[in-house]
Amino acid sequence: MKLALLLGITLCFLLVACGSKDAANNSQSSTKFTQYYIQGERLYLQHCSNCHQKNGKGLGLVYPPLDSSDYMDQNLPAVICLIKNGSQGEITVNGKIYNQKMPGVPNLTPLEIAEISTYIYNTWSHKAGLIDVKQTEQILVACTKEMKE
């Protein structure tokens, strides 16, 4: 009787574990995701890690952290826009105020920005899944419009 119960519980665990693996398949282990992620890491090391560090921890109150960031969690469109256009003025991350001008990288393509975003949103504490180029393009069009207004 006990053995049956144990078996049942084990089976349940197995099912749950497999189920979550299926969900991850859709976002974090597809070929497309892997391509985005690998390119994203390369671009992150080229354009971002000087300030935000390889480990995403930032530097003091000069450069905000990315590894764990409520700002990133709540502002995906703003993050995509500022990778391209930069950011100026105060920004609050995890309750701390940062105020260092960030230069944008205007010559990045929407695909490259989607790759960087996929990398930073799926590394350290983040598990947001793939950030697609189409989604990124739409956001970029919207923020370019905003800037012109």
Q: Which residues of 13-22 are buried (b: 16+ CB within 10 A; e: fewer)?
A: eeeeeeeeee
Name the minimum Å distance from CB 12 to another protein.
47
Residues 111-140 contacting another protein, CB under 8 A: none
Specify whether the CB–CB gap between 62 and 98 falls below 8 A.
yes
Q: Is residue 8 within the footprint of another protein (CB under 8 A)? A: no
Name the minimum Å distance from CB 98 to another protein.
8
Draw the binding track, 23-52, toward another protein (x: CB under 8 A; -: no contact). Answer: ---------------------------xx-
Q: Of 59 and 141, which CB lies nearer to another protein in the complex structure?
A: 59
User: What does the alpha-carbon distance between residue 78 and residue 104 come to, in Å, rounded to a whole number?
Assistant: 12
Residues 47-66 contacting another protein, CB under 8 A: 50-51, 53, 59-63
- How many other β-carbons are positioned within 10 Å of the β-carbon of residue 112? 22
Sign of CA dihedral 42, 29, 107, 89: negative
Nearest to 67 by CA among 115, 28, 121: 121
Draw the binding track, 61-100, toward another protein (x: CB under 8 A; -: no contact). Answer: xxx----------------------------------xxx
CA atoms within 13 A on the CB side of 72: 20
The residues binding another protein (CB under 8 A) are 50-51, 53, 59-63, 98-101, 103
